[in-house]
């Protein structure tokens, strides 16, 4: 669709959430509750801009003989404005970095799960180490435990002092 045909298509309709646009305006120095007309006009401006960029990108893809848009198509559409192009490239790089980190994290997670499953399987065959459990019963109170550890600590200090 030609840009001229798109001009009146979304007039009066809100594309974005008005609360988000109000927050954006406030972040850039406007009042907390802007005039509804300001929100509507900014919505139209942003919608028109995005439609224009997408139209240019789709035109470039069509000339290249593709039906799907690629990042190169958006690079072509934004080639005249290096600020927009730089921001879009930075966002794409961040997205790729996050994607790679998630992939690495998931691989590490899978390896860890397999390792833990193998340990649990081996632990099921072997007798559990009693030192690990510290001879604690479920019925033992925390107060008894803290008193026991406090008496152990004070006894060790006495022995050290007596040894000198």
In tens, the pLDDT along 14-45 reads 889 999 999 999 999 999 999 999 999 999 99
pLDDT for residue 120: 78
Q: Report d(CA 18, CA 22) in Å as an integer.
A: 6
Q: Report d(CA 138, CA 153) in Å as an integer.
A: 23
Residue ranges in the chain whose pLDDT is less than 70: 1-12, 124-164
Q: Report d(CA 148, CA 150) in Å as an integer.
A: 5
Residue linked to tokens 């193998």: 118
pLDDT for residue 164: 46
Cα-based distances in Å from 60 to 5, 56, 76, 79: 19, 6, 7, 12
pLDDT for residue 30: 93
pLDDT for residue 142: 56
Look up residue 103 and give its two tokens: 């992939």
Q: Report d(CA 110, CA 123) in Å as an integer.
A: 20
pLDDT for residue 12: 65
* Cα dihedral 93, 98, 103, 104 sign: positive
Q: Report d(CA 122, CA 110) in Å as an integer.
A: 19
The number of residues making up the chain comes to 164
């Amino acid at each position: 669709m030609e840009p001229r045909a798109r001009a009146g298509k979304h007039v009066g309709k809100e594309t974005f959430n008005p609360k988000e646009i109000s927050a954006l305006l406030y972040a850039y120095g406007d009042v907390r509750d802007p005039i509804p007309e300001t929100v509507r006009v900014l919505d139209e401006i942003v919608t028109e801009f995005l439609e224009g960029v997408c139209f240019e990108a789709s035109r470039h893809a069509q000339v290249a003989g593709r039906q799907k848009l690629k990042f190169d198509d958006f690079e072509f559409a934004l080639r005249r404005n290096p600020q927009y192009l730089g921001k879009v490239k930075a966002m794409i790089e961040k997205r790729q970095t996050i994607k790679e980190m998630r992939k690495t994290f998931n691989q590490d997670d899978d390896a860890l799960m397999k390792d833990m499953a193998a340990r649990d399987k081996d632990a099921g065959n072997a007798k559990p180490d009693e030192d690990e459990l510290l001879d604690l019963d479920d019925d033992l109170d925390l107060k008894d435990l803290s008193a026991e550890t406090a008496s152990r600590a004070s006894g060790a200090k006495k022995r050290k002092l007596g040894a000198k």
